[in-house]
């Protein structure tokens, strides 16, 4: 009896410590987001970082959002980002689906070496090729254009084949063989048989392909110099770093812009969360 009580006490203490640690980590994770949202709606005379969390003259409203869309070309930056992210997402999704299906179903001599090389190359961060990519685009006279960003973001799409390939490995081959016996060719099987079954992995691929160009800063800062062609990441950064006092003058507007950009991504993920989780779990098999 005493042993059971001691074990129960140890388990209770362990659970309490675990919950305390998780609560602390959760609070630390939520605090910056809460501060950003709070600052985005703050309408006090001071537009910069404040020393007291709740100043005496605190007012909340949508004034920062009004300044964001009226005093800046944020709408243009948002449309540029949407165009680049949408086009890159479409190309990347098509490339990944085709490469993944080919590596899953077609058996050829260099299949394993190609898969290994793509997997290793995908482990290197993209910014390592930044200088080389810039000079290639400059030689092709493509710098300072949205087309260059689309090409950069979708050019390495095949390196992310493994999750999608894992999903295709779970699709029974008997369905394809039956369609081929009925006279369908391989492209027809892929479009009319495989893709309708691959909705979860397609949603997963679309989301991951969309968020990368939407949030990227490094390549945009390297390739784009025209203010009219900025994306939201570069535009908001330049907004608070353009002049000596621009940080204090535009900090609350910057937070409002970050709230808009983050809100779009959060809404997109929340609306497709079920398919996203299903795509990750169904593709996490050994190919």
CATH of the domain at 197: 1.10.3720.10
Total tally of structural domains belonging to the chain: 2
pLDDT mean over 46-51: 62
Beta bridge partners of 42: 60
Is 80 exceeded by the pLDDT of residue 5? no
Of 27-41, 149-163, 236-250, the least confident? 236-250
Same domain as 131, residue 257: yes
pLDDT mean over 133-154: 88
Same domain as 139, residue 107: yes
Q: What is the pTM of this model?
A: 0.81
Is 68 a domain residue? no
Q: List the structure tokens of 275.
A: 């398919």
**For residue 43, what are the domain limits?**
2-63
Is 60 exceeded by the pLDDT of residue 287? no
pLDDT mean over 264-282: 71
Same domain as 106, residue 246: yes
Asked if 252 and 39 touch (Cβ cutoff 8 Å), the reply is: yes
- Indicate the length of the chain as a whole number: 287
Minimal CA–CA distance to 87: which of 172, 148, 170? 148
Minimal CA–CA distance to 83: which of 210, 261, 244? 210
Is 133 a domain residue? yes
Same domain as 240, residue 104: yes
pLDDT mean over 73-98: 91
Range list of β-strands (E), the chain: none
CA–CA dist 99, 162 (Å, integer): 10
Q: Which of 63, 84, 110 is the last residue of a domain?
A: 63
**pLDDT range class, residue 279, cuts 50, 70, 90:** low
Q: Which of 40, 63, 86 is the last residue of a domain?
A: 63
Is 78 a domain residue? yes
Is 90 exceeded by the pLDDT of residue 84? yes
Is 149 a domain residue? yes
**pLDDT value for 83:** 94
131-135, 157-161, 277-281: which is most confident: 131-135
**pLDDT value for 120:** 82
Same domain as 111, residue 7: no
pLDDT mean over 41-48: 70
Q: List the structure tokens of 83.
A: 């165009």
Is 231 a domain residue? yes
For the residues of 52-93, what is the DSSP string, one character each? SSS-TT--BSSHHHHHHHHHS-HHHHHHHHHHHHHHHHHHHH
Same domain as 96, residue 37: no
CA–CA dist 155, 231 (Å, integer): 19
**pLDDT value for 57:** 65
**pLDDT value for 227:** 87
What is the greatest pairwise CA distance in the chain? 81
Q: Which of 63, 84, 111 is the last residue of a domain?
A: 63
Same domain as 220, residue 152: yes
Distance between alpha carbon 47 and the CA centroid of its chain, in Å? Answer: 30
Minimal CA–CA distance to 98: which of 181, 186, 177, 203? 186
pLDDT mean over 14-40: 89
Same domain as 86, residue 58: no
Same domain as 126, residue 186: yes
Instruction: Give the pLDDT confidence of 212-238 residue by residue, as tens digits.
Output: 889 888 889 889 888 889 999 998 888
Same domain as 111, residue 237: yes
**pLDDT value for 176:** 81
Q: CA 192, 83, 252 angle in degrees (round to 5)?
A: 130
Mean confidence (pLDDT) of the chain: 82
Asked if 231 and 224 touch (Cβ cutoff 8 Å), the reply is: yes
pLDDT mean over 126-134: 82
CA–CA dist 39, 33 (Å, integer): 10
pLDDT mean over 82-99: 91
pLDDT mean over 186-201: 83
Same domain as 266, residue 163: yes
Cβ-proximal residues to 36 (8 Å cutoff; 6+ apart), any chain: 255, 258, 259, 262
CA-based end-to-end distance of the chain: 51
**pLDDT value for 284:** 46
């Amino acid at each position: 009896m005493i042993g059971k009580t001691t074990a129960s006490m140890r388990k209770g203490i362990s659970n309490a410590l675990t919950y305390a640690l998780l609560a602390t980590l959760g609070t630390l994770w939520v605090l910056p987001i809460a501060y950003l949202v709070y600052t985005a709606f703050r309408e006090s005379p001071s537009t910069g970082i404040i020393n007291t969390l709740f100043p005496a003259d605190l007012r909340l409203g949508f004034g920062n959002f009004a300044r964001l869309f009226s005093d800046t070309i944020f709408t243009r930056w948002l449309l540029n980002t949407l165009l680049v992210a949408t086009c890159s997402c479409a190309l990347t999704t098509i490339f990944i689906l085709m490469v993944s299906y080919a590596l899953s179903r077609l058996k050829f001599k260099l299949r394993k070496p190609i898969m290994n090389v793509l997997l290793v190359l995908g482990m290197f961060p993209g910014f390592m090729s930044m200088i080389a990519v810039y000079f290639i685009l400059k030689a092709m006279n493509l710098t300072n254009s949205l087309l260059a960003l689309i090409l950069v973001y979708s050019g390495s799409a095949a390196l992310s084949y493994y999750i999608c390939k894992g999903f295709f490995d779970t699709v029974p081959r008997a369905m394809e063989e039956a369609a081929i016996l009925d006279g369908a060719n391989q492209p027809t099987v892929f479009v009319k048989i495989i893709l309708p079954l691959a909705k979860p992995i397609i949603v997963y691929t679309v989301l991951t392909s969309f968020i990368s160009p939407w949030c990227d800063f490094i390549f945009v800062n390297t390739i784009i110099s025209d203010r009219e062609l900025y994306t939201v990441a570069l535009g908001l950064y330049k907004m608070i770093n353009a002049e000596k006092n621009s940080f204090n003058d535009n900090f609350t507007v910057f937070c409002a812009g970050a709230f808009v950009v983050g809100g779009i991504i959060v809404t997109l993920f929340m609306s497709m969360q079920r398919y996203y989780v299903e795509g990750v779990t169904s593709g996490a098999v050994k190919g």
